[in-house]
Amino acid sequence: MLLRDGEYQSLEITETVLPVASSQEEANETLTQPNAATLTKFYGRYQDCMEMFAPAVKVAEYLNSHNLWFSRCAEPMKVQPLGENGYALVIGRFGSFGYEVEPKIGLELLPPDEGIYRIRTIPIPDYQPPGYDVDYRASLRLTENAASDVSTDIAEVTKVEWELDLVVYIHFPRFIQRLPKSLIQSTGDRLLNQIVRQVSRRLTRKVQEDFHQSLQIPFGVNSKKKR
């Protein structure tokens, strides 16, 4: 399920073959005692880019000042600052048939290293994820090009190219573990891809709008942009 710009809601697994838990207590019990033997791994690798109508130096200045825009652009996700470069994010609530999870992860936006910006997961103080673990590793690279649209006054276009390696480990409750592993894997992979697309498209659009507005650069239907 992909949402239009400005919309936000939880995703729900719609597979009708998933049974209802015999009790909410059963679901809660298995979530609190994860172990390596019962963890299911979901992995995705993603890449895309967004265009900024400004020189790379201006885009770099904006990215380096993430404390001024990150929390605002991440809405409606709940964001809490963690130190100088870190943030705790509540992604949303996801689930089906009595089983729900509300992922909360800590991310650190590292200063650029040889022109590459990296984002990685960090622990959230006094928080223990209930039955899941996330390993988030992203990198961003700036590439400046001359604008090809002669109808505008913009001389440079900077592409922010990003890659994301995302691994999620989930300890499912017993009633989910009884299902075929292939069904669990395919359903989880599909849901993970939906979440990443939903969040990345919304965040990309809001960052583009915020950046161009901060420099009073037009950004709309007549501007080239990566969706």
pLDDT in tens, 100-112: 778 899 999 999 9
* pLDDT value at residue 149: 56
Q: Dig out the tokens for 25 from the structure.
A: 């207590």
3 state DSSP class of 197: helix
C-alpha closest to that of 160 among 33, 51, 10, 3: 51
* pLDDT value at residue 55: 93
* pLDDT value at residue 208: 95
3 state DSSP class of 45: strand
With a cut of 70, which residues of the chain have pLDDT below it? 1-37, 95-99, 147-154, 220-227
- Whether the model pTM is above 0.95: no
User: CB–CB of 105/88 below 8 Å?
Assistant: yes
C-alpha closest to that of 158 among 63, 51, 61, 65: 51
Listed by start position, the domains of the chain span: 39-214
Architecture of the structural domain at 39-214: 2-Layer Sandwich (3.30)
pLDDT in tens, 36-85: 557 889 999 999 999 999 999 999 999 999 999 999 999 999 999 999 99
